[in-house]
Amino acid sequence: MIKVTINGVFLTQSQSSGILLKEANGDRTLPIIIGEYEAQSIALGLENIKPPRPITHDLACRILESCEINIESVLITELKDNTFFATLSLRTSKQTLLEIDSRPSDAIALAVRKNTPIFVNETVMDQAAYVTEEKEDTSSRSYIFKSETTNLDRLKEDLKKAVENEEYEKAAALRDKIKEIQSKS
C-alpha cells in the first residue's frame, strides 16, 4: 500500500471535477475524476470550512462519532473498467475492524474531515498514476483550487491568460467560477 496526500482538487476543461493524489514518498500522482459535489465537499474539508448546516459528509462523520466508530484509513483498492474502488477501514469502540466498500470520493471526503491516512494499492498506481515533472504544467486543465475565497485573484489571472491564449472554453469556466465566488461574498 502506498501512502498518498491530496495534491489538489481540480476542474477540467470539460467541466469534470477531480482530485490529485500524490505519492507521499515518491513522484507519482494519481488523478481521479469525481463528482462536482464530492469535489466541493473535499475542498471544504481541506480548508476546514464548516457550512452553516452539515452536508452529507459532515453528517456521516457525526454519525460515526456518535456510534464511537473511528475511521482508521482509506484504501483505493482497484481500477476496473475505468472505475476506481475504495474501502473505508473503521474501528468500533469494541475494537472490531469493519471494512466498508466506498466510492473513493466519498471516502476521501470523510478522510479529510478526520485527518485519516489515504493509501493506494500498488497495482492501481501502476495502472493509472503518472510521474510529475519538477514543475507541473497546469495549462492542460483549468484551475486547481483549495479555497475559493483565497484564490479569486488567481482565478482572475488564469481567466486573463485563457483569453489571451484563445482558450475560450476554459475562460468561460473560469468566468463562471469567479461569478459564483463573487455572488457568495
What's the rounded Cα separation, in Å, for the pair 170 and 178?
12
Say which amino acid occupies 20: L
3-state secondary structure of 183: helix
pLDDT value at position 51? 85
The mean pLDDT of the chain is 84
Q: Where are the domains of the chain?
A: 2-131, 148-184
At residue 22, what are phi and psi to the nearest 5 degrees?
A: -105, 130
Better-scored residue on pLDDT, 129 or 179: 129
The beta-strand segments (E) located in 24-124 are 28-34, 70-80, 83-91, 97-102, 118-120
pLDDT value at position 134? 47
Predicted confidence (pLDDT) per residue in 20-75, tens digit: 999 999 999 999 999 888 998 999 998 888 888 989 999 999 999 999 999 999 99
What's the rounded Cα separation, in Å, for the pair 84 and 97?
23
Indicate whether this model's pTM tops 0.85: no
Instruction: Look up the CATH number of domain 2-131.
Output: 3.10.690.10
Mean pLDDT, residues 8-15:
79
What's the rounded Cα separation, in Å, for the pair 46 and 5?
11
